[in-house]
Structure 1
Amino acid sequence: MKSLGSIRRDFAPWSDRDAKPYILFDGVTKQFGEFKAVDDLTLTIYEGEFFALLGASGCGKSTLLRMLAGFEAPSRGNIVIDGEDLAGTPPYRRPVNMMFQSYALFPHMSVEKNVAFGLRQERMPRDQIAERVDQVLRLVKLENYASRRPDQLSGGQRQRVALARSLAKRPKVLLLDEPLGALDKKLREETQFELADLQHQLGTTFIMVTHDQEEAMTMADRIAVMDQGKIVQVATPEEIYEAPNSRFVADFVGNVNVLEAKVLRAEGGRMSLEAAAGFTIETVNAVDASPGQTVFYALRPEKLRISGEPLTGSNVVAGEVWDIAYFGHVTSFRIKLDSGEIMKVAMINATRVSPLQLTWHDRAWLQFDDDAGLVLTR
């Protein structure tokens, strides 16, 4: 399947003040006894968007999806799709369909009959069913597997059958609950791009629940990071990674070094920080903070340079090589600073033989640019 590449970057209705949300969660709360699975949550999603709900187990993301599908009712608040309040609307009358993690295929039915099942339940004419099934099987590249049963397919093929069955009814919104969780790592990586490209080809609104950061970053137009029933940040993958609004988001999405520090000076868009780890940080990414105030400096491992020779200049700190992990395309170092803190460093292996000859317990120096990290106040 040909990748759509940069086409996705042109899709940004949330930046248009006149754009109307397609899906609205308005002050939604869901309680189970005294426990609030979703807590006074408000969220807008736009038509044609691939939206990801990202968070750890128990954060409320699946409950939110189930309320949209109609499997759970909100304790308070409203859920609206395309201007229609869904209160009291049963699942089978909602313009949504859900693809479950388990795929839930009928083992005794062929691929063709699995895909056609929902259409037959709606008593669609037989010739229209055949045409629709043929369309969606060609869409997911399974037209030559129509007569096979699920146990005769690979994991990736079963995933595509489940997707075809979900799309056959042409829902306005497709809900995906951990859609790639049953696939092995390599197949999951390949399927991420296929699924994202298919969604943009169809223009259907997709809402995906996942705890996998890579899945969300690869496929979604926007991501909502959730914690304890609340949304912590909603933004594009780039913004979530490069401009997290809190330590929680910075730490949850990707690897990061979070250094506690006090503000020394802040003027002209620059800041000087005294890190608790015992060195001075100079940054151009100033925030509204006063001298003496405690802040946190978030620095991604790939933004650091590492050397076995002493480095000079600003934003330099030394330590001892504590751990090394070789991943092929990148080597990960854990450096124990003289203060005892551990700093994570990621070095891209751009050549077959690394010019950096560092091993365990060697002395190492780290350096980063003044625009490499982000100052956080919470």
Structure 2
Amino acid sequence: MKTKSLGSVRKSFSPWTDPDAKPFIRFENVTKTFDGTAAIDDLSADVYEREFFALLGASGSGKSTLLRLLAGFETPTRGRIVLDGEDMTGIPPHKRPVNMMFQSYALFPHMNVEQNIAFGLKQDGMAKSERNDRIAEVLKLVKLENYGRRKPHQLSGGQQQRVALARSLVKRPKVLLLDEPLGALDKKLREETQFELTDLQYELGITFIMVTHDQEEAMTMADRIAVMGDGRILQIGTPPEIYEAPTSRFVADFIGTVNIFDGTVTARNGDRLKLETGAGHLLEVDANEESVSRARSGEKAAYAVRPEKLRISAKELTGPNVLSGEVWEIAYIGDMTSFHLKMDDGKIVRVSMVNASRESPVQLTWHDRAWVSFDPDAGLLLAN
């Protein structure tokens, strides 16, 4: 049982901010083509020792190919991968200090739990007594001490996932690669396992690299996230950086839910911009330093603001950063309520309201007229 929270420890872990820190894994201008098409396109990135690093992207973004390149199952067309100072070029998978846990778990159905875990050690010629000690150690680690004699079909999905994890860890790799590790679990078990896996990763001190298409999973588990698209890394950052400070329209739109207002800069006063949208709405917004330097009067701009940063009211509001529309959809999710408002120009604006009390303070229903507002610093002027 966990006796203390690791939140403060993980919060202080940020070797990527240290200019003197040496990357543990380095992808250097890596390209991988299949039939002339680039699955990975001139990609460079650094991962640090003991980091929980997530590759997040839609199907076909290149994340699984990058994982397979690191594991040695694929060979780069160009570029190289360096792990702990050693160039991985030409080193076969079984000689790399990495292990991979697959989404399917790939357990041998005719073997019991102990035999599944011992398989790799037996292939390496490890003595039986040492194998038994290792097996007992990892079974305790994943809380399956009493399940060693069971076959995979006698286990739940969560227990099978733990066996696959134990088998991946028993050889004590320097890096553990996880390909959609929680995809086969139900929602509640997946949420519980996310925290267990991050705590386990810290306790073991092993570098984890995880591939996932699940944004919530990446945000919950990873120290940093690499958002991928078309074989490239579009942004690397901590979960708050990725969510609150996306560097492109694609990342803003891909991560979570966002409202993007396209407009024209009509005035600028210091770090405050006035934008007029195509529907005639006037926005007064704060902008980041980089985008302010580019935003000139008459130029096009896009402003992104998350649904939870908006306020909704059944009473008429006036002034800048106020929008009005018809309540088009309502989703009561328990901890929050999501409203979709249809503006007069047809644009859908999404608003999320936390249900802090049992009775909603905003009495709105379908087809009601509603007003939303937000502060000038609620969102971000997008770079593109």
Q: Is the 8 A contact 1:294 1:377 kept in 2?
A: no
CA deviation digits over 1:288-336, x for unaligned, max 9? 2111111111010010100101123431111110111111111111001
Q: Which residue of 2 aligns with 1:298?
A: 304
Give the superposition deviation at 1:278.
2.1
Give the superposition deviation at 1:267.
2.8
CA deviation digits over 1:325-367, x for unaligned, max 9? 1111111110011222110111111111112111111000001
Residue identity opposite 1:24 in structure 2? R
Equivalent of residue 209 in structure 2, options 189, 198, 207: 207
Q: Is the 8 A contact 2:340 2:351 kept in 1?
A: yes
Distance in 2 (alpha carbons) for counterparts of 1:37 and 1:377: 26
Q: Secondary structure at the match of 2:39?
A: strand
Q: Which residue of 1 aligns with 2:13?
A: 11
Normalising by structure 1, what TM-score? 0.98
Residue identity opposite 2:372 in structure 1? L
Give the superposition deviation at 1:156.
0.7
Q: Is the 8 A contact 1:226 1:233 kept in 2?
A: yes
Is 2:361 the partner of 1:355?
A: yes
Q: Is the 8 A contact 2:53 2:209 kept in 1?
A: yes
Q: Which residue of 2 aligns with 1:373?
A: 379
Distance in 2 (alpha carbons) for counterparts of 1:338 and 1:377: 27
Q: Which residue of 2 aligns with 1:231?
A: 233
Is 2:338 the partner of 1:336?
A: no
Distance in 2 (alpha carbons) for counterparts of 1:94 and 1:365: 58
Q: Which residue of 1 aligns with 2:332?
A: 326
Residue identity opposite 1:104 in structure 2? A
Distance in 2 (alpha carbons) for counterparts of 1:200 and 1:310: 51
Give the superposition deviation at 1:146.
1.2
Give the superposition deviation at 1:181.
0.6
Percent identity of paired positions between Structure 1 and Structure 2: 66
Equivalent of residue 129 in structure 1, options 128, 131, 145: 131
Distance in 2 (alpha carbons) for counterparts of 1:277 and 1:325: 26
Q: Is the 8 A contact 1:45 1:51 kept in 2?
A: yes
Distance in 2 (alpha carbons) for counterparts of 1:13 and 1:215: 22
What is the 5 A alignment of 1:40-119? 40-119=42-121
Give the superposition deviation at 1:272.
1.3
Distance in 1 (alpha carbons) for counterparts of 2:339 and 2:27: 43
Equivalent of residue 307 in structure 1, options 303, 313, 320: 313
Distance in 1 (alpha carbons) for counterparts of 2:270 and 2:261: 23
Moved more, 189-198 or 261-270: 261-270
Q: Which residue of 2 aligns with 1:191?
A: 193
Distance in 2 (alpha carbons) for counterparts of 1:377 and 1:102: 39
Distance in 2 (alpha carbons) for counterparts of 1:5 and 1:76: 39
Q: Is the 8 A contact 1:41 1:230 kept in 2?
A: yes
Give the superposition deviation at 1:276.
2.0
Distance in 1 (alpha carbons) for counterparts of 2:268 and 2:211: 40
Distance in 1 (alpha carbons) for counterparts of 2:280 and 2:211: 41
Q: Is the 8 A contact 1:54 1:226 kept in 2?
A: yes
Q: Which residue of 2 aligns with 1:346?
A: 352
Moved more, 34-43 or 348-357: 348-357
Residue identity opposite 1:95 in structure 2? P
Q: Is the 8 A contact 1:295 1:375 kept in 2?
A: yes
Distance in 1 (alpha carbons) for counterparts of 2:272 and 2:193: 43
- Number of residue pairs matched? 378
Q: Secondary structure at the match of 2:146?
A: helix
Give the superposition deviation at 1:266.
2.3
Normalising by structure 2, what TM-score? 0.97
Give the superposition deviation at 1:261.
1.2
Q: Is the 8 A contact 2:329 2:341 kept in 1?
A: yes
Q: Which residue of 2 aligns with 1:221?
A: 223
Distance in 2 (alpha carbons) for counterparts of 1:124 and 1:131: 11
Give the superposition deviation at 1:155.
0.6
Q: Is the 8 A contact 1:259 1:277 kept in 2?
A: no
Q: Secondary structure at the match of 1:194?
A: helix
Q: Secondary structure at the match of 1:187?
A: helix
What is the 5 A alignment of 1:254-269? 254-269=256-271
Q: Which residue of 1 aligns with 2:35?
A: 33
Residue identity opposite 1:82 in structure 2? D
Distance in 1 (alpha carbons) for counterparts of 2:279 and 2:111: 62
Residue identity opposite 1:72 in structure 2? E
Distance in 2 (alpha carbons) for counterparts of 1:222 and 1:87: 26
Is 2:175 the partner of 1:169?
A: no
Give the superposition deviation at 1:22.
0.5
Distance in 2 (alpha carbons) for counterparts of 1:201 and 1:272: 50
Q: Is the 8 A contact 2:286 2:380 kept in 1?
A: no
